[in-house]
């Protein structure tokens, strides 16, 4: 059943309250907050990349306060083991005797902050693969369901910094968005200096119950995705593969089918945030860079020439038309006419 205009306005108003609350935590980052909330409504995991001290961790902590979600923080370090994240079986006394009892790790929370995720080894990072895709973890052959909702918001430092490991491609593909946290301008820095104290966390009152968040996420799934928009998503993802477009000449591996699903979900979330009953071409274009930039791999020559993932996605958006071009008639068809 389509959402009514009253429902659309109500949900959009609630989302606006959440964005306004987060802007009290992170000054001057309206676009970043917009994208984080979009990804949350789409039930996606988010990767935040930026230099230390730009407020990535504070944004995630503020999000958990505003939504009253159980949150846990995992500080990723080189010596962190997979069991430190998922949990381990511990030998305990039970009515049946001494048995191994599973003790859940910090992954068992609604909102998990994976802080500096690329400072742990790829082996430890892979402990998140099943959790992010299946919303469960398997230890010693036994599956354990994670709480609902379940989100991973990870922060990472640029790969150029010391002590970092590149995230595996399979890990990156499980993040709905990769968002860049940029530095503040002078006016925003002045606002931070006059309104904050070093080592003192900003206070934030809850603005939404978990039931309200669940209703908003369910409403996003009811947003209509027109056939022409779905076709545009399919052509855009297909064009990211080598041999499918001029831009793709610098791409070694293109985006996966999960990227197409992510584009659709994020576009519908953005439409709901603007109280519209259906997703549009503009919605897809607005979320294309954060959805696709971490899912394509450039070849060596493209990197040497100075091309970036973001630039390649922007070129794809310029190259792929919103409406599919009609196939010109063949000679036979023209003769029959």
For residue 1, the model assigns a pLDDT of: 64
Q: Where in the chain is the domain with CATH 3.40.50.300?
A: 1-208
For residue 200, the model assigns a pLDDT of: 64
CATH class of 223-337: mainly alpha
Enumerate residue ranges in the chain where pLDDT < 70.
1, 159-163, 196-201, 325-337
Distance CA 132, CA 34 (A): 22
One-letter-per-residue 3-state SS of 57-81: HHHHHHHHHHHCCCEEEEECCCCCC
CB-CB contact of 118 with 157 (8 Å): yes
pTM assigned to the model: 0.87
Give the tens place of pLDDT for each residue, 183-205. 777 887 787 777 766 666 677 78
Distance CA 128, CA 121 (A): 12
Distance CA 322, CA 217 (A): 27
Instruction: Check residue 103 and report its DSSP letter.
Output: E
Q: Which residues lie closer than 8 Å to 189 by C-beta, 6 or more apart?
A: none
For residue 314, the model assigns a pLDDT of: 93
Residue 97 structure tokens: 């005797």
CATH class of 1-208: alpha beta
Kindly tell me the number of DSSP H helices and DSSP E strands found in the chain: 15, 11
Q: Which of 159, 206, 204 is nearest to 178 (CA)?
A: 159
Q: Where in the chain is the domain with CATH 1.10.8.80?
A: 223-337
For residue 331, the model assigns a pLDDT of: 43
């Amino acid at each position: 059943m389509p959402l009514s205009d009253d429902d659309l306005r109500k949900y959009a108003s609630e989302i606006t309250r959440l964005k306004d609350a987060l802007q009290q935590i992170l000054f001057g980052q309206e676009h970043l907050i917009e994208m984080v909330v979009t990804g949350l409504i789409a039930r996606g995991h988010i990767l935040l990349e930026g230099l230390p001290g730009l407020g990535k961790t504070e944004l995630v902590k503020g999000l958990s306060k505003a939504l009253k979600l159980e949150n846990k923080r995992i500080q990723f370090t080189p010596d962190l083991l997979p069991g430190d994240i998922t949990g381990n079986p511990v030998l305990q006394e039970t009515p049946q005797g001494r048995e191994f009892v599973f003790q859940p790790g910090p992954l068992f929370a609604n909102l998990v902050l994976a802080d500096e995720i690329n400072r742990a080894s790829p082996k430890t990072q892979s402990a998140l693969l099943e959790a992010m895709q299946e919303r469960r973890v398997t230890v010693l052959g036994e599956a354990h369901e994670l709480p609902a909702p379940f989100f991973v918001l990870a922060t990472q430092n640029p790969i150029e910094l010391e002590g970092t490991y590149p995230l595996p491609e399979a890990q990156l593909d499980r993040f709905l968005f990769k968002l860049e946290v940029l530095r503040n301008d002078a006016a925003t820095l002045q606002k931070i200096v006059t309104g904050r104290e070093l080592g003192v966390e900003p206070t934030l009152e809850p603005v939404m119950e978990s039931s309200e968040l669940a209703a908003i996420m369910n409403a996003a799934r009811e947003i209509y995705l027109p056939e022409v928009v779905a076709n545009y998503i399919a052509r855009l993802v297909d064009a990211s593969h080598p041999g499918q477009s001029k831009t793709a000449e610098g791409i070694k591996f293109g985006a996966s089918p999960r990227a197409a699903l992510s584009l659709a979900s994020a576009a519908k979330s953005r439409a709901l945030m603007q109280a519209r009953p259906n997703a549009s071409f503009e919605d897809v274009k607005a979320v294309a860079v954060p959805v696709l930039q971490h899912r394509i791999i450039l070849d060596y020559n493209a990197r040497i020439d100075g091309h970036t993932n973001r630039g390649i996605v922007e070129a794809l958006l310029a190259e792929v038309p919103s409406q599919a071009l009609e196939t010109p008639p063949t000679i036979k068809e023209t003769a029959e006419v």
